[in-house]
Structure 1
Amino acid sequence: MLEIDGKKVSPWDLMQSFDADRFGADIFDPKEQARWCRAILIGGLPYMWRIARPVLDEIYRIAEIEPGHKVLLFGEALESCGFIDDVNRLVGPGGEVTTIDIQQYARDMSIGGVPGKNGIIGTFPYDFFGHLPEESFDVVLNLQAIEHAEDWTEAGERLLRVLKPGRRLVMAEIFMVTKELPWKIKADLHIQHLIDKIFAGIGRTLEGRPYYSHADLRQAFDWMLTDTDHFEWRGLEAFWGRKP
């Protein structure tokens, strides 16, 4: 936010009284600001992942999914993004896809302002896999569930427990925030205004969003995976490795 005369102000604070004549007095209601800013900020995964369709096909190839495989598909918006249909098609009628979608839980934790043990709001323990048999999956595919883990060493152990030796864990996320994003935003005044306005409306900051870099993930999985690698594409980041 800007600082004017020693006071921090957001774009909402600089809306003018006559703006209410055109848009309604609700624009000055903090609850309405939060409601609409959240609606703009979240819910875009099905749109973005369809833009990323060519990259998604490469992610499936890296995962080495084959007909007849048992796949654990974990993440957010699995059905609306088309992930479930995609993986079912790849494994065929002889395969099996187990899905765990954490989207609504992640939203509850984020909107509720609940911090994980790392102190970051919207992160939590990934204790969703305890009911699954050990070494029962040929592929573990995490699509859009990297940023919400409070500890990736702990979460990685839980995911890899259910993966067969020699098989791949592949994770990909369209991150809301990356290390490069803040300076990209500040390169354009209109973009900075829009981002500042959205985050001010929900009472958060861009810097407060969780993010795990490739280096962070390599360190977390140091002794658990071999042949790790990664790529980045327009804010989408993928990381993978093979269970020894």
Structure 2
Amino acid sequence: MSHNIVSGDPWDLILKRPHLQELAMEFRSQHKRAMWCRALFEGGNTLRLWNEATELKIAFLTACALQRGQKAVLIGKYAEESGVAPALRSLIGQEDNTGVEEILTPALAALQKSRSASGARLQWDFHYFDSLADKSLDRIILFGAASHVGHWEACAQNINRVLRDGGRVIIAESPWGGKEMLDAAPLDAHLYGVLVVTLAGMGLKEADLPQTGPDDLQAIFKPFLSWSRGFSWKGLYLFYGQKSGSKDDNSLEFPLPTEEVKAFLTEKPCQSPWDFLTTAELATLSPEIADVNMQKKFGRVTSFGAGLDWLYPQYNNIVKLMYDNLRAQPGHRVLVIGEVLENLGFLPELRKRIGETGEIAAFEISNIHLSNFEKLWQGFDIPIRERHQWDYPFADTFPDNYFDLVWLPQGVHHARSWKEIAPRLLRVLKPGGQIMMLECRICDPLFFTGINTSGLLRCIAEKMWWALGVTFEEMPDYSTAQLAEAFSDSLTDSFRLDPDGWLIFWGYKK
């Protein structure tokens, strides 16, 4: 299933939700929302990702193959904070032989200008080489700069002009977007929502995000380099190549273990997904983004951001499949267990189908979960097992074979044990009656595939989950295979499907 990211603004819904009114009040200002969404998108994320990527940093320095006295230019973001500039200087030896152009300020400025009639402009013309003489450099190194190159073909020609024969271009990138992010987000509905609420808050669209990757760079630089290599890891990538010479011509040289190199390669401890905020980010975005209480408040608002009331219309084909097969007829008795039953339209639709002669026993479970979160935020110690799942006693007071339909729209993953609860629901269902389940899953296998595909998307999502006081791993999830096992052979003509982080399951009591 393909999506055009940012289809409507989820913030229009966020600001109207009753349960978010107190939290969201501070973010009614579009300017403030945009500032905080930029902090979600970038604040400390690039440094955090490179901090984790020790092997990629080793490969980067090895590809640089720096020797004493060479002349190099480094263009990038966080050149000093990341430790890359000190490491390169220590390997070249002569400080004036390493030119450093820090581009974080213009990059953040471009991000701040994203709300405009013409859209975002995260790239610009790289004129940094214009004043350099032909064949004057041994190494041209871009660290976190590739996302911002406006015209790569022209830039590659300029790099070729100033690079000496035998010189190298080395590009290490943690892109502000990237193909991996845009491939990862649609894998799972909630992950898709994480990206949408962040982009919408900044006034960005999918097309505004940089998408150049190592394969593109290999094609662009092919006329200028005798050989090149490129690979990626969780959205980060490394591309490097040499002007003239062969691959075996001293192509790789492990860096000397200077103190600066050791510091660059050492992984620093991380207690919070906001730990790597920099002085420049605070100065450009706002000192407020360092406020832990505000980090948590905004994270909680956005974690419920592109919520169920936004996601359900985006995945209408899945919802339609459920409704097309929902056996609810005039006069039927229906047991309904789920979340947001009125606002997602479940109960209004059901009333139309069964009419005045029908009977609905509805159990709204959203408030149970919200209450648990509020207690968690107030400092109460709630065991993980009790945070997200609980017993389902909803059918226990009804007679045997009472309902024509047992329907669980968005009521699956909060059940503590389907093996234990399934027989209790079947008891009250008439023979031939239908059980129907629909769920927008959270932290399902496709979600984990997505966050392992795009490190930047993981960083954004972790800021939200951290604000809630929970982890990805503790969130409960059921697949249709588990549901089929729980109901065993008690159903006939069953159907199950697990698309895009959703599940749909139905069957009929034998």
Aligned to 1:151: 417
Higher strand share: 1
Counterpart amino acid of residue 468 in structure 2: I
Q: Structure 2: which 5+ residue stretches go unaligned? A: 1-47, 53-265
Counterpart amino acid of residue 29 in structure 1: D
CA distance in 2, matches of 1:87, 1:39: 30
CA distance in 2, matches of 1:18, 1:159: 57
CA distance in 2, matches of 1:30, 1:157: 46
Aligned to 2:344: 81
Shift of 1:85: 0.9
Aligned to 1:94: 357
Could you tell me which of 71, 85, 93 is aligned with 2:334?
71
SS, match of residue 207 in structure 1: coil
1:183 aligns with 2:449: yes
Could you tell me which of 26, 38, 41 is aligned with 2:300?
38
Shift of 1:196: 2.2
CA distance in 2, matches of 1:226, 1:40: 41
Q: Is the 8 A contact 1:120 1:210 kept in 2?
A: no
CA distance in 2, matches of 1:115, 1:62: 38
Shift of 1:57: 2.6
Q: Is the 8 A contact 1:120 1:209 kept in 2?
A: no
CA distance in 1, matches of 2:383, 2:415: 11
Counterpart amino acid of residue 92 in structure 1: G
CA distance in 2, matches of 1:225, 1:17: 61
CA distance in 2, matches of 1:157, 1:198: 36
Q: Give a deviation string over 1:24-77, Cα, whole Å, max 9, x none.
A: 554333333222212211261111112233322321232322222121221001
| TM-score, normalised relative to structure 2 | 0.44
Q: Give a deviation string over 1:69-128, Cα, whole Å, max 9, x none.
A: 121221001111111111111222332222110001022235536347xx4741111122
Provide the aligned C-alpha RMSD in A.
2.4
Q: Is the 8 A contact 1:11 1:196 kept in 2?
A: yes
Could you tell me which of 426, 437, 442 is aligned with 1:171?
437
Aligned to 1:114: 382
CA distance in 1, matches of 2:455, 2:268: 22
Could you tell me which of 276, 290, 299 is aligned with 1:14?
276
Counterpart amino acid of residue 51 in structure 1: Q
CA distance in 1, matches of 2:437, 2:382: 24
Q: Is the 8 A contact 1:76 1:145 kept in 2?
A: yes
SS, match of residue 165 in structure 1: strand
Could you tell me which of 401, 404, 427 is aligned with 1:135?
401
Q: Is the 8 A contact 1:114 1:122 kept in 2?
A: no
Could you tell me which of 492, 498, 505 is aligned with 1:226?
492
Q: Give a deviation string over 1:118-144, Cα, whole Å, max 9, x none.
A: x47411111223333332211111011
Counterpart amino acid of residue 430 in structure 2: K
Could you tell me which of 289, 313, 322 is aligned with 1:27?
289
SS, match of residue 99 in structure 1: strand
Q: Is the 8 A contact 1:68 1:94 kept in 2?
A: yes
Counterpart amino acid of residue 408 in structure 2: N
CA distance in 2, matches of 1:104, 1:20: 36
| TM-score, normalised relative to structure 1 | 0.87
CA distance in 1, matches of 2:424, 2:284: 53
Aligned to 1:49: 312
Q: Give a deviation string over 1:125-176, Cα, whole Å, max 9, x none.
A: 1122333333221111101111111111222122222211111111111011
CA distance in 2, matches of 1:156, 1:27: 46
SS, match of residue 274 in structure 2: helix
Instruction: Check 1:55–1:67 CA distance in 2 against 1; reply closer, same or farther (3 A cut).
Output: farther
SS, match of residue 13 in structure 1: coil
Which has the higher mean CA deviation after the structures are superposed, 85-94 or 144-153? 85-94
Q: Structure 1: which 5+ residue stretches go unaligned? A: none
Instruction: Check 1:115–1:9 CA distance in 2 against 1; reply closer, same or farther (3 A cut).
Output: closer
Q: Is the 8 A contact 1:11 1:197 kept in 2?
A: yes
Instruction: Check 1:120–1:178 CA distance in 2 against 1; reply closer, same or farther (3 A cut).
Output: farther
Give the length in aligned residue pairs. Answer: 242
SS, match of residue 293 in structure 2: helix
Counterpart amino acid of residue 328 in structure 2: I
Instruction: Check 1:142–1:95 CA distance in 2 against 1; reply closer, same or farther (3 A cut).
Output: same
1:103 aligns with 2:366: yes
1:211 aligns with 2:477: yes
